[in-house]
């Protein structure tokens, strides 16, 4: 299965989640690319769209390698990897502080002054354009639970099958449309996987808010 782009993937994911449509559902996109997918899911479910913003904690000298992830009030750290790399507490504290500052910046920029959607006692559907290692997705799931969501569903178009047990320990339900064994990166399963910029997220969120106005 190859998705044309994030919008097509979101449409297919929305169809797979139709049974969850209802007034008690909130869709939370993980920026940036996940918001494009989440918009289609929110439209399919007739649900409000908001963001949950986890950030990867980057390894020193190798920003592509994640030591874990953070979200507001949530830290998911790979202590075994941290110890193996000899990462200092000082580095971790600085990196986590930097990522929390970026979360705050994005929260204000993406919502444009709108209040966050209340997820308390709701079914929170957390959506990304794919899962690779699961760190940021798990941080997002834990954040939604901490906000009082009654149930948290993690929904993605594509993910490696090896990640399913870890996700299912965290989310109340996990939906992945495609779980290929030969998984190397999320982008390989999209024909178009351009980097999504902040202005696209802002526009997507604004259009979704006006559509429910």
Question: Residue 57: what pLDDT?
Answer: 95
User: Over the chain (213 residues), what is each successive 10-residue block's mean pLDDT?
Assistant: 95 96 93 97 96 94 89 91 95 95 94 92 97 92 96 98 96 97 94 95 93 64
Residue 81 has what pLDDT?
Answer: 94
Is the pTM above the cut of 0.85? Answer: yes
pLDDT at 109: 93
CA-to-CA separations, 195 to 32, 150, 199, 208, in angstroms, rounded: 8, 33, 12, 21
Tell whether the torsion through CA atoms of 17, 158, 96 and 203 is positive or negative: negative
CA distances from 75 to 14, 80, 112, 143, 163 (A): 29, 15, 26, 9, 19
pLDDT at residue 212, as a whole number: 64
Distance CA(137)–CA(55), nearest Å, equals: 10
Q: Angle of helix 89-111 relative to helix 198-211, nearest 10 degrees?
A: 50
Domain residue ranges in the chain? 6-53+112-211, 56-109
Residue 22 has what pLDDT?
Answer: 82
Q: Which CATH number does 6-53+112-211 carry? A: 3.40.50.2020
Tokens of 59: 């390894």
Strand positions, DSSP E, the chain: 25-29, 49-51, 55-59, 62-71, 74-77, 123-127, 151-158, 173-178
Give the right CATH number for 56-109 from 3.30.160, 3.40.50, 3.40.1000, 3.30.1310: 3.30.1310
Cβ neighbours of 85 (radius 10 Å) = 16
Q: How far is CA 181 from CA 10, 47, 66, 161, 165, in A?
A: 22, 33, 22, 7, 15
């Amino acid at each position: 299965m190859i998705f044309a782009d994030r919008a097509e993937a979101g449409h297919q994911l929305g169809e797979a989640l139709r049974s969850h449509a209802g007034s008690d559902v909130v869709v939370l996109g993980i920026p940036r690319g996940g918001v494009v997918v989440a918009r289609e899911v929110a439209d399919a479910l007739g649900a409000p769209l908001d963001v949950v913003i986890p950030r990867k904690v980057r390894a020193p000298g190798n920003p592509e390698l994640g030591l874990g992830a953070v979200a507001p009030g949530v830290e998911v750290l790979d202590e075994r990897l941290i110890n193996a790399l000899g990462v200092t507490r000082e580095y971790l504290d600085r990196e986590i502080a930097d990522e929390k500052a970026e979360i705050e910046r994005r929260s204000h920029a993406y919502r444009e002054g709108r209040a966050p959607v209340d997820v308390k006692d709701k079914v929170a559907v957390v959506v990304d354009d794919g899962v690779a290692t699961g760190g940021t997705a798990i941080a997002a799931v834990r954040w939604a639970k901490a906000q009082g969501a009654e149930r948290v569903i993690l929904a993605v178009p594509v993910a490696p099958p090896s990640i399913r047990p870890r996700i299912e320990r965290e989310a109340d339900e996990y939906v992945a449309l495609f779980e290929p064994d030969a998984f190397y990166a999320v982008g390989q399963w999209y024909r178009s996987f351009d980097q999504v910029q902040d202005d696209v997220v802002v526009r997507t969120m604004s259009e979704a808010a006006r559509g429910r106005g």
